[in-house]
Structure formats: C-alpha cells, structure tokens
Amino acid sequence: MRLILAALLGLTLVGCSQPVEHSSEAPRRIISLDYCADQYVLRFADHSDILALSPGADKRFSYMREEAEGLPQVRPRTADVLALEPDLIVRSYGGDPNVMAFMERAGVPVVQIGFPRTIDQVREEVVRVGGELGQPKTAKQVIEDMDQRLAALAAKASENPEALYMTPVGVTTGPGSLVHELMTAAGLSNFQTRNGWNPLPLERLAYERPDLIVAAFFESKTNHVDSWSAARHPVAQAQLRELPVSAIEGAWTSCGGWFLIEAVERMSEQANGGA
C-alpha cells in the first residue's frame, strides 16, 4: 500500500512540473515489461543499463534467455516499475492497456514494440527500436546479417515442398501471417491456404497430406493445452509420426525479431532434403 501511495504521490509532483527533456545519449536504467521487449533490450542495451527484465526473460520461450541469466526481474505492475525509478520503459504487450500514458505522465518515456506481420516490418522494428536504445549501427548490422542469411537460403532453394505448420494447441496458419512468410522464405509451399490462424484442417488431412510438417512449440511444456487439442487427434498424430518433421523452437517465432532467421534456416534444411 505504501508503495502504491508513493508512486501516486510521485505522479502528482511530476504533473505539476515541466515536461522532462531527454538527452540524445543512449538511455540508462532501462526496464522491459514482457519477454518480447526483453529480446530487444538484451540485444541492444548494455547490461549495465538494464535495471530489470520481465519474469519471462530467462524462460524457455525467450530467445535471449542465456543473456538474461542473473539480471534482475520485475513484475509489469506500474507501482513496482516506478519504484525502481527507470529512465526508459520498453514494452510489447506487458502491463495494463494504459501503461504507456501512465508512465509518460510520470515522466518516463516508453518504447512501444509493434507486432510485425511481415519480414519487412521486422526489419523496420529492429532498426527503429535499436535506434531508440542507442544502438542504430548495431541494429542495422543485425538486419544486414539476417538478410545475408535469407539471401543464401533463397539461392539454394530448389523444389517447394508443401508443408503444414502445426502447434501443440492444434492451430495452424496460412497466408497473412509472419509464419507464412517465413515458410515461403525457407522455400516451402504452405499446405494451409486459408488466411490467418485457424484450427488444423483435420478433415482435409484425412484424405490429403503435405510433404512435411513444421512443428513449433512442441519442446515447450507450457503450451500443451489438454487432451481435446486438435493436435492430439489420431489424424494429426499420424502426420507427426509418418511424415518428415521440421522442428522449430517457439522462441524463434513467438516474437517478431531478427531471430526468426533461425526458424527459416531450420525449415530450409528440411525443404532441401536435410542439406
């Protein structure tokens, strides 16, 4: 209770003062509010400048989990965050819906990370957020590396085997999603032709099969819902058992970032006969 009152008192005092001017130097005392934001902060901020990460920073679904080890964490609650006196907040979805306005009224700027649906949008987000974290050159180098690896995959792509993306919760995706773009970049043709995210097409799978399965998040122990998941249906299980499977880690695709190249490379290996 005292913590909340102190935070509210701080807001009152800030509201009576002039707007805070921020220098052009790289920000210090940075807090990220969710594991998608953690990836960007861990990649583009000096560890000495990281005040706290989200509680998901070191979990299996976090790509930069090894870099997060030993760093402080904070729950994405406004009072808890303000008590640490940050200079900058980075978020994708963490905190309540009004957290941006609340933090900015407190004089703390917020970098909002978007939800890229294309590889081009990923490029834009990496360059923008890397710049706001004071590392514009590094951000551009990260994208250049990603693009070089994508170009190398495109050069060796030959056939375009048909693949079905499958998750433990029984959903797949078609055109209009970032995963669809990644499959295309890997030289795969998407078995799912219906736009967006949808349940696995069990009826179609009963009489028609893709060439391979792209299995994502199956390494996770927290993403297996229950026995009623469509992925547990005998028809779906037969695909996993009888077809070639390209297993990709959920951390590679759960957030839109430069690390998507890991998933593209893994899928490309299967698309090109495991080469």
Domains of the chain are: 2-113 (3.40.50.1980), 138-271 (3.40.50.1980)
Nearest by Cα to 133 from 112, 104, 158, 103: 112
Residue 75 pLDDT > 60, yes or no?
yes
- The dihedral region occupied by 207, where left means phi > 0, alpha psi between -120 and 50, and beta the remainder, is alpha
Residue 270 pLDDT > 70, yes or no?
yes
Q: How sure is the predictor about 37, in pLDDT bands with cuts at 50, 70 and 90?
A: very high
pLDDT tens, position by position, 183-192: 999 999 999 9
Q: What is the pLDDT of residue 104?
A: 83
Question: Whole-angstrom Cα distance, residue 27 to residue 104?
Answer: 15
Asked if residue 178 lies in contact with residue 119, where contact means CB atoms within 8 angstroms, the answer is yes
Q: Pairing between strand 171-173 and 197-199?
A: antiparallel
Q: What is the pLDDT of residue 90?
A: 96
Residue 194 pLDDT > 90, yes or no?
yes
Residue 84 pLDDT > 60, yes or no?
yes
**For the purposes of burial, counting CB atoms within 10 Å of the CB of 217, is it exposed (0-12), middle (13-18) or buried (19 or more)?**
buried
Question: Whole-angstrom Cα distance, residue 216 to residue 235?
Answer: 18
The three-point CA angle 238-239-241 to 5° equals 60
Cα–Cα separations (whole angstroms), residue 172 to 91, 120, 217, 236: 27, 22, 12, 12
pTM of the model: 0.84
Asked if residue 65 lies in contact with residue 85, where contact means CB atoms within 8 angstroms, the answer is no
Q: For the chain, give the mean pLDDT.
A: 86
Please give the average per-residue pLDDT across 244-266, as a whole number.
Answer: 93
Q: What is the pLDDT of residue 188?
A: 94
Q: Pairing between strand 245-248 and 212-216?
A: parallel
Please give the average per-residue pLDDT across 36-40, as a whole number.
Answer: 97
Taking the alpha carbons of 95, 134, 264, 68 in that order, is the dihedral positive or negative? negative
Percent pLDDT > 70 in the chain is 85
Q: Which two tokens stand for residue 59?
A: 């979990």
Q: What is the pLDDT of residue 189?
A: 94
Asked if residue 157 lies in contact with residue 268, where contact means CB atoms within 8 angstroms, the answer is yes
Please give the average per-residue pLDDT across 87-106, as a whole number.
Answer: 88
Cα–Cα separations (whole angstroms), residue 199 to 102, 161, 193, 207: 38, 21, 12, 17
Please give the average per-residue pLDDT across 105-117, as a whole number.
Answer: 92
Question: Whole-angstrom Cα distance, residue 172 to residue 238?
Answer: 16
Please give the average per-residue pLDDT across 234-250, as a whole number.
Answer: 90
Long-range contacts of 77-85 (CB under 8 A, 24+ apart): 78/7, 78/102, 78/103, 79/3, 79/4, 79/7, 80/3, 81/31, 81/33, 81/52, 82/7, 82/10, 82/106, 82/108, 83/3, 83/6, 83/7, 84/29, 84/31, 84/51, 84/52, 85/29
Burial 163-179 (b: 16+ CB within 10 A, else e): bbbbbbebbbbbeebbb
Please give the average per-residue pLDDT across 13-39, as a whole number.
Answer: 67
Residue 159 pLDDT > 60, yes or no?
yes
